[in-house]
Amino acid sequence: MNAGLMQSPRPSAIHPAKPGDVVKQPGHWVLAGLGKRVLRPGGLALTRELMAHLHPCDDDSVVEFAPGLGVTARIALAQQPRSYVGIEREPDAARLLQQELGNENVQFVLATAESTSLHSDSASLVFGEAMLSMQTPGQKQRILAEAFRILKPGGRYGIHELALLPNEIPDDERKAIEREMSTNIHVGVRPATLTEWKRILEEAGFHVDWEAQAPMHLLEPKRLLNDEGLLGVLRILFNLLRKPIARQRVLSMRRLFRKYASHLSAVAIVCTKPAPAGAESV
C-alpha cells in the first residue's frame, strides 16, 4: 500500500526550511519536512474509503483541490482517468508534482481552489482533503461554489476534513479549540461539526450521498505505522532526533490533539451535483 507513497516528492525538498523557519511554519509543512507524507486527519484508511465511494475511473475528468504531496493524486491516477488537474496554492508543491507526475492528461496548476479558472461543467469528479478545515466560513463557501461550478450535473464531490464533536459543541469550547489549534499549528483551524459540514455542502447545492468518520489520530503511533509504514516511521523518528525545533513543534501538536481528542474527529463525505430534472447527467 505504501509503495506508491515511496515515490512521493521528498517533503523536505518542498520545504527546505532553515531551523528558524520551523518555529512559524504551518504544522503540515513541519510534518512534511520530517518525512511525513500522509497529512489528512483520518489517514490513508479514510482516504481509501473515500476513494472507493468516489470510484475514479478511466471515463472521469478529475480535479483535486490541494494535492499537497500527491498521495491521493497517485491513488486517483492509478485508475487512469481521462484527465486530472491538481489545484495547489503552494508553488513548490505544484511545481514538484508537475515535474514528477505531469503529462498531457495530468496537470498540476498553481492556483487557489476558490478560483481555479477551469471551465464550468467540465469535471466529473472533484475532491480535496485537509484543506477546507483551514478556511474561513467565506472561503469555505467560495471553494464549495467553485467545486459546484466546475462539476458537470451528476458529478461527484468528495471531502476529507477535520470535524468537531459533538454536533452540539458549546460555542466557548469551539472557540477555545480554534484559537489554541490555530496558534499552535500556525494556520487557521476552523473545523465544522458533521452536521455543519453536511449543511454547508447542501447550501452549496450538493446532495449528500455518503459519510464516514474516523478518529483524529494523525500523530498516534498506530496510525503513523499504518500511514507511513515501518521505514517511513523510522525516517520520521530519525529526523525528529536531528531536528529539535521540529521535534518541539510535533510534540506540542500531539499534546493539543490529545487534549482535545474527545472533540476532534475526521470526516469523509461524498456528494453529487444534482442533474436538473429531465437533463442527462455524467
Contact residues toward ligand SAM (CB under 6 A) are: 28, 39-40, 65-69, 71, 87-90, 93, 112-114, 129-131, 134
CB 151 within 8 A of CB 121: yes
Sign of CA dihedral 94, 95, 96, 99: positive
Contacts 24+ apart (CB under 8 A), 77-86: 77/101, 77/106, 78/4, 81/56, 81/57, 81/105, 81/125, 82/58, 83/107, 85/109, 85/116, 85/118, 85/123
For ligand SAM, give the closer residue by CB, 90 or 228. 90
Residue 87 CB, shortest distance to ligand SAM, in Å, is 5
Residue 8 CB, shortest distance to ligand SAM, in Å, is 10
For ligand SAM, give the closer residue by CB, 142 or 152. 142
φ, ψ at 23 (rounded to 5°): -60, -40
Residue 171 CB, shortest distance to ligand SAM, in Å, is 25
For ligand SAM, give the closer residue by CB, 29 or 206. 29
Residue 279 CB, shortest distance to ligand SAM, in Å, is 30
Collapsing DSSP to helix, strand or coil, 15 comes out as: coil
Residue 140 CB, shortest distance to ligand SAM, in Å, is 10
Q: Which three cell numbers stand for residue 260?
A: 482535545
Q: Which residue's Cβ has the minimum distance to ligand SAM?
A: 68
For ligand SAM, give the closer residue by CB, 79 or 112. 112
For ligand SAM, give the closer residue by CB, 69 or 282. 69
Cα 50 from Cα 203, distance rounded (Å): 21
